[in-house]
Chain A
């Protein structure tokens, strides 16, 4: 039985396609790392790990997703697939740790077997059972993303249990080499050594609480706008100073926003037109024909308010398709019901119903509403998800796919009807909820009894709400219960429930993403585990975040988790003012007193070292200045100090799992003791202080050692590439040119000369394009030929002196580009204009060199002008075709005057005289190297 089960489990694991499984190994193929490691004894490996292993590197490997260690064994994690390694029994030997990695099934710890649950609808799910009773089975999926699952007994068809570990026995194969294995083991040894000192109490996930009935009742009172007519003491006690009251939509542009016929049917029968609406039926007390004329009058009045017409545009199917994805990902479905492939709402608990909105909106008006929801609904109950215009439009197209062409007939404005409509608007009390027309504040209507009127269910001269019995009871309970003074914590919960925070965030066990919606919370970086996709807990958030930051999050929608698909929305400043104050009052603790470090810059230097790959290697996982690390894109280090409170930062670093059960963040101070003992004498507090002082520089902090860099390379494509910049041995006025044939040169616009030549790729511009740009462009060729400095064209009798600085002549006039974007340079000496085209050319032996064509026009200067062809210490003729210079390069005058050779000490120069003949025939000069 056991055997067959293990086969079941193995094949099941295969079916899951676990990323942790080893590559399939052919018989006779080279040995895997696991096999090689097994050839050593555990004692040998343990000895090597103690001697050579690096616990910090091991911690990063532990967190790395291709290992999957942290997915199942997070330190301090809760109800995980595997045992918490920070609580290993201290008698667990080093050798035992090694055996558990190499042969995980040999000793399977109790309670960590794999269970395969087959449900009645035929699905099989492999879990580790964490709780079980007669009614249900709770477990953790053994494959990423390691979801917690609950099965009701009635759903379960069969349960099978295996004694084989769910940990594959070939995990080490995903490591690069034996060294990494030793690093990992060394980290586990450190964890075990500290497990005794680990004072973190064993905990399980906070008990999930339900929202209490008072809060539910108050939410309902808030949403239905009861306060517009009545004074409700309980609401005041909870809400004043915590949250603004909900307000009915603004109606100024309702004619633009909604379809007229929809508006008519909505006024006639609000609940059946838009199920779940907070709008009561105000006309129920009227006779049928009277109701219809009332609706006509009201609609006429409302239509007359706006200055923009309602306009239907055809649905853009492609936008609708994009909208489907955006709707599912950005957070719409945190509150609204998700939809099936046909776009129909799936029945999902706790959903704000949208109903059939296609008849109501136009694509244009829904787009505008989604972009700026608070302009219509200022109370922030529909938060602003920071959709840009195109995202909003895509969602609008998606949600309105079913729309029919509007009946736009009868849009004539009947002035008399408008006036009647305004009178009805006043007399029906619409102004109590809608700010549309100036109205005297209406006095509150005392609540005399709760079994009649709005709550009574029968028609009459009052607003008629369609409420379930339970909703009536909820409201009645609030109205009749003894008035207690709610604690600030209770008021926070009320505000969070009302604003919808609890749909995404948990606080003290209340709220958070429900299992029905869990799979809509996605991430672009699965390496971050659940933290990468689920919005953070808000337990003690006022202790964690600085108040200014928290404000920017709630008001400005600021976020630091670009990998999280669900967006933090904005709620509007006035709507969260009270909540921000309450968070600070309830959570914030007085800051611990600290002395400033004696030598701040030295402390910062150590912090920089700790963050880098020779310290704690924070940079291995964390983003730095928007640049994700190689391993994953954990939150940006340069925003830590701006976000976090200092005390929280310190406590978090000491025990990350206390704050985030199942975090992939390893502990570098397990049990409060430093792993890196050689820095600051292993003093935990001083190490953390150093990190803080370093991070406190924010975006201006020096990048830690080990940050990955993308190299910069400029190469020619189909056409030439050019870069005017500083080049080595040329100066600041270099003009580098890379030709598609792999020939590159630099022309110097200060000396008007050819300056550098090389073969291969063009250049690395990092020296001038990064930082302040104080460096040079670096030619990518290995052998760069440097031609002599100073101008090529000079007056023969007053040669250029190197110490002269910039020569006043020749003058640079610019260049033109040909179709391949190859330049022809132009310069001038006096009235003599010179052009210089440098092109690649094929030699008879098939090699590619450069051919330079120089033209001269205008007037020759009065004094003799020479052109420097070459300078060297060794210049020899080559087969009657040109000269070899210092055995480095060759130059050959194909067309042009006789070459003049002069010697000055060791230096030999080759020169050409610019004479009248040059005005008639271009010079052609070949360069090879």
Chain B
């Protein structure tokens, strides 16, 4: 158990009196809302209310298990972290939206007093960052770049463009780059020109840039990505935002030759045959489940995050490979949300050859809109971002924070997996077998979204499956549910509020959401 960590400080305005950074908070953010209303993408609702919904209401209890530690930012520094990398030498590297690449000493200390140094500046929206082979590999709006420090003065001096083979004509054409895969390729998810259009080449596609400078198409149909990287099984995924053809945010697998659901980028099939034939026109107002039967390229959305309940703009994600130093969620996906300033978890599995999985609430009350997250060598989770441009619940314009596990294990749904006759649910602590073996303790519902050109979708086609049996394992950590009435292609929502742990504790988060694209065969 670790002790003596800087205490929870989820709120913003404590402790500034004694000379902590306040100037940074005061840097001009004045025009942001006005511009947000002019802009497109996330903020198409217009001048009316920008509902960010209710909080989960769990922050108070979450703090017992995961403490939010502030990494103070120097006064006057507008740190808009867009990408993070934990360096092998114990430093943290940060790529910012303003185009700086910063190296931070002391970010992993128990009581962090970080010291920042600029390694490179003047770049364009650093939304991908990795350190490999003594070089930084960054993704900026314009290109994938390898940066090296040839004269050893601690600042990058060689900027080699590895791939810029895509059009760039609109500020909202964000480019999110992965860390290099096993072959050293950087996968780049290219945002559409706007929500509805692809005006210049390869907008709406994913490409991969090879270490020797080739740019190869991967798949089409992307709308507005906000994070990209491998899932816990090493398969490349990206985070898609709610909007046209996307009823809600989701994690999707970047399948070679696949179509991610937004047809605006069909035009680029004329430029290359790398992805095979162009898919047929999409029918607005249908369902993904129906369309995927007609359109083989359409890859069903692997993990759907119900709107507002599970984020509004899911963003950067990473995998817990801490060996248990971050608590009981080893090998799971941790993903932030820009609008709601929360961190969530996700798990994925391949069923009948199709990726699918579940998402779970994890921690709310972060100080700004989250764009990136990264585990430290000590097994803590650093998150960062900005609240500029779009509605964000977190109050600070810039914040870098760390989630430290307190060593106490929360009573949580560890993961949900699909079974041929129902679901398996694992828990972080043994359940009370009495409550857990009662089928009525599991409240299930299903729904899906309209697959349509309009922005987002209501939750439709609701059904209520019936749990006929709940079998608790001998160790109390696993419950097998036999469920009648599951619906293929639907999100299955779980409310397990009646459950108790063996010690009588209630679940820290009672909700989970499983996207059932496929039902396992017997």
Contact = CB atoms under 8 A, between A and B. Distances in A.
Interface of A: 325-326, 329-330, 367-368, 371-372, 384, 386-391, 524, 552, 555-565, 567-568, 573, 600-601, 625-628, 696-697, 699-703, 707-712, 721-726, 731-733, 735-736, 749-750, 765-766, 768-775, 805-806, 812-819, 821
Contacts of B397: 626
A766 B159 contact: no
Given A329-B17, A564-B17, A814 B161 contact: yes
Interface string B150-177: 1100011111110010011111110000
A601 B45 CA distance: 13
Interface in B385-409: 387-393, 395-397
B7 A384 contact: yes
A806 B391 CA distance: 34
Nearest to B11: A558
Nearest to B9: A386
Nearest to A367: B4
A352 to B, nearest CB: 22
6 A-B pairs with the lowest CB-CB distances in the bound complex, closest first:
A771-B35, A722-B122, A389-B111, A772-B389, A814-B161, A772-B39
B44 interface: no
Nearest to A750: B168
Contacts of A749: 142, 161, 164
B395 A561 contact: no
Contacts of B171: 726, 732, 768, 772-775
A711 B390 CA distance: 21
B11 A766 contact: no
Contact of A626 (B9, B26, B31, B157): B26
Nearest to B164: A812
B141 interface: yes
Given A372-B4, A391-B18, A770-B28, 14 more contacts: A386-B7, A389-B5, A524-B17, A556-B10, A560-B13, A562-B13, A565-B17, A626-B25, A712-B28, A732-B169, A733-B168, A749-B164, A771-B36, A812-B164
A533 to B, nearest CB: 11
Contact of A700 (B33, B156, B170): B33
A373 to B, nearest CB: 10
Given A556-B60, A774-B171, A721 B122 contact: yes
Nearest to B35: A771
A420 to B, nearest CB: 30
14 contacts: A330-B17, A368-B3, A368-B4, A387-B7, A389-B6, A626-B12, A699-B387, A724-B99, A724-B142, A773-B125, A805-B167, A805-B200, A817-B155, A817-B159
Contact of B392 (A699, A701, A703, A724): A699
A805 to B, nearest CB: 7
Interface stretch (B48-56, B218-226, B235-243, B484-492): B48-56
B29 interface: yes
Contact of A710 (B28, B38, B49): B28
A733 B167 CA distance: 10
B123 A724 contact: yes
A538 B261 CA distance: 55
Given A573-B60, A699-B395, A815-B159, A724 B31 contact: no
Interface string B255-288: 0000000000000000000000000000000000
Nearest to A393: B111
B34 interface: yes
A555 B60 contact: yes
A627 B395 contact: no
A713 B47 CA distance: 30
B396 to A, nearest CB: 7
A731 B4 contact: no
Nearest to A522: B17
B378 interface: no
Contact of B26 (A391, A524, A628): A628
Interface of B: 3-7, 9-18, 22, 25-39, 41, 43, 47-50, 52, 59-60, 70, 78, 97-99, 110-111, 113, 121-125, 140-143, 145, 150-151, 155-161, 164, 167-173, 200-201, 387-393, 395-397
Contacts of B35: 770-772, 774
Contacts of A723: 99, 122
A700 B50 contact: yes
B30 A371 contact: no
Contacts, number: 216
A601 B48 contact: yes
B52 A700 contact: yes
B13 A561 contact: yes
A503 B161 CA distance: 63
B168 A732 contact: yes
Nearest to A712: B28
Contacts of A697: 49-50
A701 B200 contact: no
B60 A732 contact: no
A811 B161 CA distance: 9
Nearest to B390: A772
Contacts of A627: 25-26, 28-30
A775 B36 CA distance: 12
A813 B160 contact: yes
Contacts of A388: 6-7, 9, 15, 70, 111
A700 B391 contact: yes
Contacts of A721: 121-122
Contacts of B156: 817
A805 B267 CA distance: 15
Contacts of A770: 28-32, 35, 388
A812 to B, nearest CB: 5
Best-buried of A372, A387, A601, A625 by chain B (most CB within 10 Å): A625
Contacts of A565: 17
Contacts of A768: 171
A774 B172 contact: yes
A772 B172 contact: yes
B10 A771 contact: no
Contacts of A818: 157
A702 B47 CA distance: 9
Contacts of B25: 626-627
Contacts of B6: 371, 388-389
B32 A771 contact: yes
Contacts of B140: 724
Contacts of A384: 7
Contacts of B27: 710
Contacts of A561: 13
A517 B145 CA distance: 60
B389 to A, nearest CB: 4
Contact of A703 (B34, B38, B43): B34
B168 A371 contact: no
Contacts of A330: 17-18
B18 to A, nearest CB: 6
A806 B201 contact: yes
Given A389-B111, A723-B99, A766 B7 contact: no
A697 B169 CA distance: 33
A709 B52 contact: no
A805 B271 CA distance: 14
B268 to A, nearest CB: 13
A735 B397 CA distance: 26
A556 B160 CA distance: 48
A701 B12 contact: no
Nearest to A555: B60
Contacts of B43: 772
Contacts of B39: 771-772, 774
A771 B388 CA distance: 6
A772 B37 CA distance: 9
A735 B122 CA distance: 8
Contacts of B48: 600-601
Nearest to B151: A819
A696 B52 CA distance: 12
Contact of B157 (A711, A766, A816): A816
A732 B142 contact: yes
A390 B164 contact: no
